[in-house]
């Protein structure tokens, strides 16, 4: 029989000791690029030995739009809407990274009120993004209820954004030197009420999922990432912190107002899927605290835009990085004195995290690979740019 | 439209003076010269060495140190100013001690920058990762930049975790000209460089020697050219031409003004 015809056969064969054993062959399977559990157009290849994953790797690029080339062709302010389209679930984080880079090159001092607005909206974004992750992750594990609950609450945050800037996902709200428009009447009360609500919801989520036996079985000890591996592979954000490294750019390298307010950096111990879940849920609670602080100290009036020259012509290069819900987002911006960027390079956390797929999945069950991908919080728009 | 943009860019990159006519640039020039005079005062006190007048470092071979298209203000100051953060001073001291030929300098905030010849990259990379004072174990970003005639450059942003500092920028100019630009791979030092280097190869055509799997990552494997190169020409038929052939817009408003 030809070798090629044997790929699905399992046969008995003689071993050296004379005892027959079952001879198995590795199977190469393909997941995606259109697959409900891959969070976008991600293709995952896995080599299986029975149900065990021998190796797994991702194939990306299905959503590539060469955003960095577009950014080299448009005037600096006109790039902001494109940054939204990279990480469409935390668009404000991407906008913020970009405007911070341009402001650093132009030495623009952003008015206090605009900084507060950025601070509050950005933390709201983190809550919305983590809620969506929570819902999608529950769905990955087969728990549909969590998905419905999470989307119900995320919807309310999106409503706030809709009232604020007219868009629910792709905001185009930050400007070089400030924000596009001021807060609307009643923003403060709406958001404060929402935060009170969310705090109760967190307890609800906790009761629903955290100590759920099935959930624990699926996540505890699955996809373990040690601290050394996490650092070597460039993991950041909740993935890094779940492995026990208390590193958060908001603490280590404060931007906006993070040096003014006290907040905890939740850290995991085992670096497994369960810890990544716990870290993200704890971060929602910290973000609620930060939003409250921000609303409390929000200046009553004042400018929301700095005096920005009509024609921007920065020169030199800079690197700005922020802590997005998914990890460290970086923007390396090179400008040559014209109003068009010479080079824009994004450091996107999901792109880096996808490299971990093999490390996390090797030796685990194929079903756990879905949990692994889910726990990394992948947004393909950001991976492919 | 397309030619206009690229010409504008070419002029300003190759001849920096041409781009410095707008009012915004004037303001920037003022600031730049102010910073420079401050630095001169510093060196007048005799505390620091005199900053090098030109960005071309004399001690490095010409092919590893192509002249940058424009001189950044920070590139001229190799001396450490007294108000630089401590980590920057430590980083500079450690680097100069181990590699006397390097000229690290304080870039901005608490970033140190150093231009590393491609031949030295692996040694420097291993040193900054393992040295007790630096421990730069986290490669935040690896970016390729096309500086046209000045060649291709790879920029490494390094951070020490969990402290978050020191922070180091390494700039490496690719060797071998535009057609065969190559840089040693650092995958064995920071595994995370794997996909970053593949991306730089895919979009900019920089080869990384010693990379285990240097294939295209974002584009199709049969793609022709490297799109982020400044001289990249899209080999696909222009979209605008197809559009005009099939349907003529009633007025100018319907015409797409963006390039292919």
Q: What is the pLDDT of residue B71?
A: 41
Across residues A231-239, what is the average pLDDT?
90
Q: What is the pLDDT of residue B28?
A: 38
Is pLDDT of A369 > 70?
A: yes
Residues belonging to chain A? 385
Give the range among A197-206, A255-264, B91-100, B112-121 with minimum mean pLDDT: B91-100
Residue in the block written with tokens 């400018």: A303
A contact test, residue of B1, B4, B16, B24 with most A CBs within 10 A? B24
Locate all alpha helices (DSSP H) within B106-221, ordered by sequence. 121-130, 193-204
- Contact list in A for residue B23 (CB cut-off 8 A) is 309, 311
DSSP secondary structure letters along B58-121 = TTS-TTTSPPPSS--GGGG--SPPTTS-HHHHHHHHHHHHH-TT---EEEETTEEEEEE-GGGH
Q: What is the pLDDT of residue A115?
A: 92
Per-residue pLDDT band at B97 (split at 50, 70, 90) = confident
Question: Taking all residues of chain B, what is their mean pLDDT, rounded to a whole number?
Answer: 69
How many angstroms separate the CA of residue B45 from the nearest CA in chain A?
Answer: 28
- Contact list in B for residue A104 (CB cut-off 8 A) is 108
A contact test, residue of B5, B191, B198 with most A CBs within 10 A? B191
Q: What is the pLDDT of residue B154?
A: 92
Domain positions in chain A are 67-347+368-384
Is pLDDT of A361 > 90?
A: no
Residues A49 and A55: their CA atoms lie apart, in Å, by: 9
Q: What is the pLDDT of residue A18?
A: 62
CATH number at residue B72: 3.30.460
B174, B186 in Cβ contact below 8 A? Answer: no
Range of the domain at B8: 2-185
- Contact list in A for residue B169 (CB cut-off 8 A) is 319
- Contact list in B for residue A338 (CB cut-off 8 A) is 8-9, 12, 19
A contact test, residue of B28, B35, B105, B125 with most A CBs within 10 A? B28
A104 with B258: Cβ contact below 8 A? no
On whether residue B104 sits in a domain, the answer given is yes
Residue B44 or A95, more confident: A95
Is pLDDT of A137 > 50?
A: yes
CB nearest B162 (choices: A246, A309, A321): A246
Across residues B171-199, what is the average pLDDT?
89
Across residues B124-137, what is the average pLDDT?
88
Q: What is the pLDDT of residue B108?
A: 80
Is pLDDT of A362 > 70?
A: yes
Q: How far apart are the first and last CA of chain A?
A: 48
Q: What is the pLDDT of residue A14?
A: 55
A281, A215 in Cβ contact below 8 A? Answer: no
Residue A251 or A12, more confident: A251
Q: What is the pLDDT of residue A161?
A: 92
Per-residue pLDDT band at B107 (split at 50, 70, 90) = confident
Number of domains making up chain B: 1
A361, A53 in Cβ contact below 8 A? Answer: yes
How many angstroms separate the CA of residue B62 from the nearest CA in chain A?
Answer: 22
Is pLDDT of B52 > 70?
A: no
Residues belonging to chain B? 260
B139 with A337: Cβ contact below 8 A? no
On whether residue B250 sits in a domain, the answer given is no
Per-residue pLDDT band at A207 (split at 50, 70, 90) = confident
Per-residue pLDDT band at B40 (split at 50, 70, 90) = very low
B163 with A317: Cβ contact below 8 A? no
Q: What is the pLDDT of residue B244?
A: 53
Q: What is the pLDDT of residue A13?
A: 58
On whether residue B80 sits in a domain, the answer given is yes
Q: What is the pLDDT of residue A36?
A: 65
Give the range among A125-129, A194-198, A290-294, A370-374 with minimum mean pLDDT: A370-374
A contact test, residue of B8, B18, B22 with most A CBs within 10 A? B22
Q: What is the pLDDT of residues A16-32, one digit of tens each?
A: 666 667 777 788 888 87
On whether residue B245 sits in a domain, the answer given is no
On whether residue B32 sits in a domain, the answer given is yes
What percentage of chain B exceeds 90 in pLDDT? 13
Question: Taking all residues of chain A, what is their mean pLDDT, rounded to a whole number?
Answer: 86
Q: Does B105 touch chain A (CB under 8 A)?
A: no
- Contact list in A for residue B70 (CB cut-off 8 A) is 315, 336-337
B169 with A319: Cβ contact below 8 A? yes
Out of A21-35, A248-262, B38-52, B89-103, the most confident range is A248-262
User: Model ipTM?
Assistant: 0.83
On whether residue B206 sits in a domain, the answer given is no
Q: What is the pLDDT of residue A15?
A: 56
Q: What is the pLDDT of residues A97-110, one digit of tens each?
A: 999 999 988 888 89
Q: What is the topology classification, in CATH, of domain A67-347+368-384?
A: Cytochrome-c3 Hydrogenase; chain B (1.10.645)
Nearest residue in A to B14, CA atom: A336
B161 with A247: Cβ contact below 8 A? yes
């Amino acid at each position: 029989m030809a070798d090629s015809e044997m790929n699905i056969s399992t046969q008995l064969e003689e071993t050296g000791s004379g005892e027959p054993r079952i001879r198995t062959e590795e199977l190469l399977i393909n997941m995606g690029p259109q697959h409900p559990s891959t969070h976008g157009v991600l293709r995952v290849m896995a080599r299986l030995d029975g149900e065990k994953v021998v190796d797994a790797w991702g194939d990306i690029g299905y959503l590539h739009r060469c955003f960095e080339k577009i950014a080299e062709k448009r005037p600096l302010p006109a790039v902001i809407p494109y940054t939204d389209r990279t990480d469409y679930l935390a668009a404000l984080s991407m906008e913020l990274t970009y405007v911070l880079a341009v402001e650093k090159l132009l030495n623009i001092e952003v008015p206090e009120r605009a900084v507060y607005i950025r601070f509050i909206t950005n933390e709201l974004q983190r809550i919305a993004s983590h809620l969506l992750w929570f819902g999608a992750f529950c769905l990955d594990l087969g728990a549909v209820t969590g998905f419905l609950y999470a989307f119900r609450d995320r919807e309310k945050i999106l409503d706030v954004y809709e009232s604020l800037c007219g868009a629910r996902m792709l905001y185009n709200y930050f400007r070089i030197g400030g924000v596009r428009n001021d807060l609307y009447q009643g923003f403060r009360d709406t958001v404060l009420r929402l935060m009170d609500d969310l705090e109760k919801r967190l307890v609800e989520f906790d009761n629903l999922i955290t100590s759920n036996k099935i959930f624990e079985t699926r996540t505890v000890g699955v996809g373990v990432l040690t601290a050394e591996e996490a650092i070597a592979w460039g993991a950041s954000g909740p993935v890094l912190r779940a492995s026990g490294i208390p590193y958060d750019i908001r603490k280590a390298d404060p931007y906006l107002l993070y040096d003014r307010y006290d907040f905890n950096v939740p850290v995991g111990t085992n670096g497994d899927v369960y810890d990544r879940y716990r870290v993200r849920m704890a971060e929602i609670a910290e973000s609620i605290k930060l939003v409250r602080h921000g609303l409390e100290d929000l200046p009553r009036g004042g400018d929301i835009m700095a005096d920005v020259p009509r024609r921007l012509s920065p020169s030199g290069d800079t690197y700005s990085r922020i802590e997005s819900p998914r990890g460290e987002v970086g923007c390396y911006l090179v400008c040559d004195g014209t109003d068009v960027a010479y080079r824009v390079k994004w450091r996107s956390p999901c792109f880096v995290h996808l490299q971990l797929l093999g490390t996390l999945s090797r030796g685990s069950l194929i079903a756990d690979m879905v949990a692994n991908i889910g726990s990394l919080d992948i947004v393909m728009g950001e991976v492919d740019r | 439209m397309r030619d206009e943009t690229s010409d504008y860019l070419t002029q300003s990159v190759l001849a920096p003076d041409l781009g410095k006519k707008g009012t915004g640039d004037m303001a920037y020039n003022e600031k730049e010269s102010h910073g420079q005079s401050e630095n001169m005062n510093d060196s007048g006190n005799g505390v620091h060495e005199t900053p090098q007048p030109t960005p071309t470092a004399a001690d490095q071979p010409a092919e590893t140190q192509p002249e940058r298209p424009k001189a950044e203000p920070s590139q001229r100051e190799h001396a450490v100013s007294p108000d630089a953060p401590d980590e920057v001073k430590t980083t500079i001291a450690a680097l100069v001690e181990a590699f006397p030929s390097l000229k690290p300098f304080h870039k901005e905030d608490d970033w140190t920058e150093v231009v590393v010849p491609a031949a030295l990259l692996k040694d420097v990379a291993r040193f900054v990762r393992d040295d007790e004072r630096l421990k730069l174990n986290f490669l935040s970003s690896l970016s390729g930049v096309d500086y046209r005639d000045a060649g291709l450059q790879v920029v490494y942003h390094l951070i020490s975790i969990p402290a978050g500092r020191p922070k180091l920028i390494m700039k490496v100019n690719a060797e071998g000209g535009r057609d065969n630009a190559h840089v040693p791979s650092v995958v064995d030092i920071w595994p995370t460089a794997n996909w970053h280097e593949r991306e730089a190869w895919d979009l900019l055509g920089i080869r990384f020697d010693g990379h285990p799997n240097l294939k295209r990552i974002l584009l199709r494997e049969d793609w022709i050219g490297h799109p982020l190169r400044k001289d990249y020409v899209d080999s696909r038929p222009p979209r605008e031409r197809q559009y005009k052939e099939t349907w003529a817009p009633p007025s100018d408003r319907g015409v797409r003004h963006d390039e292919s």
